[in-house]
Amino acid sequence: MKIENYNRNRILIQNLKNLLVIILLPLVILGSLSIFITQRYIKDEVNKNNEILLKQASDKIDLIIAELDTLSLNFSVNPNTIVPLKRIFNQPTLTYDDNNIFTIIKSYIESSSHVKPYIHSIFIYYKNDQNRLISSIGMGLVDLQNIYETAWYKSFIANPSTQGIWSEVGFLQEDMLGRQEKVLTLYKNLFTAGVDESDGVIMLNIKTDYMEQILNSAASYPDQGLVVINEKGVPIVANNIPSSIRSGDIANFQKDNRPFFTYNANGKAYTISKYGSEKYSWNYLSIMPNNVLFEVPQKLLEISVALLIASLLLGVLLAVYETRHNYLSFMKIIKILNSAREGETIPSAISRVKDEHGYLIQSIIKTFIEQNYLKMQLSERKYKMKVMEMLALQAQINPHFLYNTLNTISWKSIALTKKPNEVSSMIENLSTILKYSLSNSNQTVTVEEEIYYTKCYLDIQSVRYRNQFEVRWEYKEDIKHLHIMKLLLQPLIENSIYHGIKEKEGPGTIVIKLVMDRPYLKIWLLDDGLGIPPERLSEIRTMLRKEEDYTKTEHIGLFNVNKRLILTYGEDYGVKIRSVYRKGTAIYIRIPIDSFIEMNQEAAEKYQEALARNHYF
C-alpha cells in the first residue's frame, strides 16, 4: 500500500460530494415539502373559508330578498287587501271607507320600508283605468305620469307571465332636479287565481350601497373581490374587483361548474370560489389574487434559497477542513499498516483519542499487541465447548440406562412368578412414566396421552396408598385430540396426594375435570384433603406471582407447572389456587387451544433452564 497512490484533490472532491449531498439534499427536500404543504394547506383553508363567507353573504342577501315574499303574501292571496286596493285604484275619488283602508295599507308598506335600512322604496301596482300605484314614498297613491322613473313598468310589461322573483339594477330619480340613486329592484308578479298572466306587480327597491357593505364586511383577505350575480347571470353588486378581471371573465366563471379553481387573466393568476343560493338561483363569487394568497410560501421559497446558498458555502469550507484532517490521519494509518507488514516497530498508541481516526489508529495498534493473546483465548473457548458437549451427551446416557435397567428388573420379576404381578406392574408403570418424561421436553402432547400417563402414575400411588383415596375423571371424548403441555396433570395430582389426602384422616377423593370452552381448555383439580391454612395460602399465591427459585419449597410440582405454563403460553396463563383449611383445595388452569402460543427466545431459554434442573416431581 503506497502513500503516493492517494491524491488529496480526489479526496477533496469526494468530501465535497458527500457534504453537499448530506447538507443540500435534505434542505432542498425539506424546503420543497414545506412550500408544497404550506400551499396545499393555505389553498384548502382559503377554499373552506371562502365557502363559509360566501354562504354567510348569501344568507344575508336571501333574507333581504325574502322581504318581497313576505310582502307578496298580503297582496296576492289576501282578498281583504286585494279587493279594496283594486277598488281604490279604479275609482276617481275615494270614499271615506276607502280612504281609511288606503291609509292602513300605506302605513303597512311605509313601516316595512322605514324599519328595514336596506329598503329604498316599495311600489305596488295592479292594472287599473286610473293608472295608479302605491309607493312607500311621497303621497302614497301616485299616477304613472307623475313618476320620474318608469323603467320598472316596462320590465313588468315585458314579463307578464314570469313566476317567482326577477331582479334588475337601475337608478331612481328622486326629484325634478334629476338626483338619482342606484337601487336593485326586485319584482314579483301578482296573479289572480286561474289566470296565467299577471294582474299586477310588487316591487322592492334595495339600496345597492347596503349590499356592498355586506360584501365588504364579508371579505376576510386583502384585495379579495366579491361579486353577486342574479338569476339572469348579470352581476348586480361587486366590490374590490381587480382591473384585469373583465365582464367576460365573470361570464366564464359562471360556466365553470367547479366550486374552486384557478383562473389566469392578463398574466395574473386568481383563485376563484363559487357558491350558489339554492332558494333564489343567485351566485356568489370570490376572486383572490394568488400573489396575495401565497405570500407565505413565496417567503419560504426565498428563505430556502438563502439557506441553500449559505449551506453551499459552509459545505465547501467544511469539505476543505475535513479533507486536510482526514488526509493526514489516513496517511498515518497507512504508515502504521506498512510498518506492521514490514515487521518494523509500530508507533506508540495515541494517549488521547479525539476523533474516529485516532480511535482507528489506537485500535490497530491494540490489535497487533493483543493478537497472540486473543488466539489463545479462542483455542481455550473451543476446548471448553467440546467438554460441555461431551458432558451433555453423557447426561443423556444416564437416564436411558435407568430406563433400560427398570425394564430388565420388570422381566426378572415376571420370570420369578411366571406371570405379571403387582411388582412388575409398578415397575412397568414407572418405566412408562420415565420414558414419557425423557422424550422431547418441548413437545406438546394430546390430552389423551397426558391422561394415559397420569393414570400410570396413579396406579403406582394406589398401590402405595391402598384404599386411601379415590380418583374421579370428568371429561368428554371431544377433548382427547387437543394438544397441551407435557407433564401438566401429574405434578398437581402428586401435590394433592402428599399435601392434602395423605395428611387427612380417612379416605379422600380427587376429582379431575377437563372442559372445552373455546378458545380455552379449562382444567379443575379438586380434593377434599386437609386444605391449606390462610397464611400459607397467601404465601403460595405470592410465590406463584414472583420470579423466585421454587426448588427449596415443599410444593415443587405446583410451582413447576405454574412456571412452565407462563413460559409456554405467556404471562396471562398460570395456576390459580383456592383452599379452605380442613375442607379441601381447588386448582384451576386455563390453556389456549385454538392456536399454540410459541415461546419467545428469552422464554425458551428460561424454559430450558428449568428443564435442565429436572424439577418435574
Least confident of 101-110, 372-381, 495-504, 538-547: 372-381
Q: What percent of the chain has pLDDT over 70?
A: 71
Task: Check pLDDT > 90 for residue 526.
Answer: yes
Quote the CA–CA distance of 593 and 479 in Å, as a whole number.
10
Whether the Cβ atoms of residue 276 and residue 284 lie closer than 8 Å to each other = yes
Q: In DSSP terms, which residues pair with 238 in a beta bridge?
A: 227
Quote the CA–CA distance of 225 and 286 in Å, as a whole number.
6
Task: For the chain, give the number of residues.
Answer: 617
Segment 58-82, tens digit of pLDDT: 888 888 888 888 888 888 888 888 8
Nearest to 221 by CA among 170, 164, 286: 286
> Please, what sign has the CA dihedral across residues 94, 99, 103, 104?
negative
Whether the Cβ atoms of residue 466 and residue 443 lie closer than 8 Å to each other = no
Q: Pull the grid cell for residue 305.
A: 434559497
| Predicted confidence band of residue 394 (pLDDT cuts 50, 70, 90) | very low
Least confident of 40-54, 104-118, 307-321, 504-518: 307-321
E strand spans, 486-606: 508-517, 520-527, 575-580, 584-592
Least confident of 203-212, 323-332, 414-423, 505-514: 414-423
Quote the CA–CA distance of 431 and 211 in Å, as a whole number.
104
Q: Pull the grid cell for residue 114.
A: 322605514
Segment 296-354, tens digit of pLDDT: 666 767 777 777 777 777 777 777 777 777 777 777 767 766 766 665 665 655 556 56
Task: Check pLDDT > 80 for residue 209.
Answer: yes
Least confident of 330-344, 367-381, 505-519: 367-381
| Predicted confidence band of residue 393 (pLDDT cuts 50, 70, 90) | very low
Whether the Cβ atoms of residue 249 and residue 265 lie closer than 8 Å to each other = yes
| Predicted confidence band of residue 413 (pLDDT cuts 50, 70, 90) | low
Quote the CA–CA distance of 163 and 615 in Å, as a whole number.
98
Produce one character per residue of 63-97: b if its CB has 16 or more CB atoms within 10 Å, e if not: ebbebbbebbebbbeeeebbebbbbbbeeeeeeee
Task: Check pLDDT > 80 for residue 8.
Answer: no
Least confident of 55-64, 167-176, 210-219, 456-465: 167-176
Of residues 430 and 219, which shows the higher confidence score? 219
Average pLDDT, the chain: 77
Whether the Cβ atoms of residue 336 and residue 346 lie closer than 8 Å to each other = yes
| Predicted confidence band of residue 397 (pLDDT cuts 50, 70, 90) | very low
- pLDDT value of residue 614: 42
Owner of C-alpha cell 333581504: 64
Quote the CA–CA distance of 213 and 230 in Å, as a whole number.
18
Q: What is the DSSP letter of 499?
A: I
- pLDDT value of residue 594: 61
Q: What percent of the chain has pLDDT over 90?
A: 10
Alpha-carbon Rg for the chain in angstroms: 51
- pLDDT value of residue 521: 94
